Every structure is written in C-alpha cells, then in structure tokens.
Amino acid sequence: MNTETETVRDFDSHIFSIKVKPKSRKRVSRHRIMQQIACPALSLAKCSYSCRDAYFIFEYDTHPHLSGENRPEYALWDTMSVYVAQLNHMSEEQWVAEGKAFVDAIEATGRSEAEQEQAQ
C-alpha cells in the first residue's frame, strides 16, 4: 500500500474521525512584552510621523518623573529604535530579546560609569 497516494474510502465517520483545532496564535502586545522583560525603568512606545513609516522605541529611564536640573547625575536614560511598523512584524520572543539586550547594555554602561566615579 502506497501511503503517499492512497486515499481512505468507505469508513464510518463515527469510528474514524479527525478533529483538527487551529493553533491559536497569541496576539503580540506591548503589555506581554514588558511583563516578560520585567524592567520597571523600560517602556515601549510606537512613534508615527506623517512623513515616514511608523516604528517603535524602547525607552530606558530610571527617573521618568524628573526632568532637567531635577534629574540626579546618576540617572540613566537612553532610547533604542526598532524599525518595524507593527508589533506583529516580529515575534514576541524577538521583542523580548531586543528589550533585554537593550536593558543589559544600558545597565552595564551605568555600572561601569559608577565604578569609574568611585575610583576617582
């Protein structure tokens, strides 16, 4: 019996049946991405301008409620752009990996600067 081309015929559908459930695809959301990254200083925002395609920005800010001269010297702030127009253009895992890499890089930079200041 050639299983590649053989067709099953004359079967009792009550005995032999196949139920296929479509694989539910979870919607990519900022909330779930930020929950998985679990960094209180990080935010993810969509930027859109009339003259260019939309994109997203990860913003790392240790003191978001302070600005200008009120910010302490040790405050960390930086942004990273991700040039995709929609969240679902990347998988949730890719977003989390991008965000975690950004946080790790910022925090490593902040630690090295603090160590340099302590050495002086």
Asked, for residue 34, whether it belongs to a domain, the answer is yes
Asked, for residue 8, whether it belongs to a domain, the answer is no
Residue-number span of the structural domain to which 75 is assigned: 30-119
Query: Which ranges of 1-120 does DSSP label H, i.e. alpha helix?
Result: 30-37, 92-119
Over residues 11-33, the pLDDT tens digits come to 666 666 666 666 666 788 999 99
Asked, for residue 89, whether it belongs to a domain, the answer is yes
Quick one: which H or E segment has residue 8? none
Over residues 33-63, the pLDDT tens digits come to 999 999 999 999 999 888 888 999 999 999 8
Domains contained in the chain, number: 1
Indicate yes or no: pTM above 0.85.
Answer: no
Contact 79, 57 (CB under 8 A): yes
Asked, for residue 110, whether it belongs to a domain, the answer is yes
Query: Of 71, 60, 47, 65, which Cα lies nearest the Cα of 105?
Result: 60
Asked, for residue 93, whether it belongs to a domain, the answer is yes
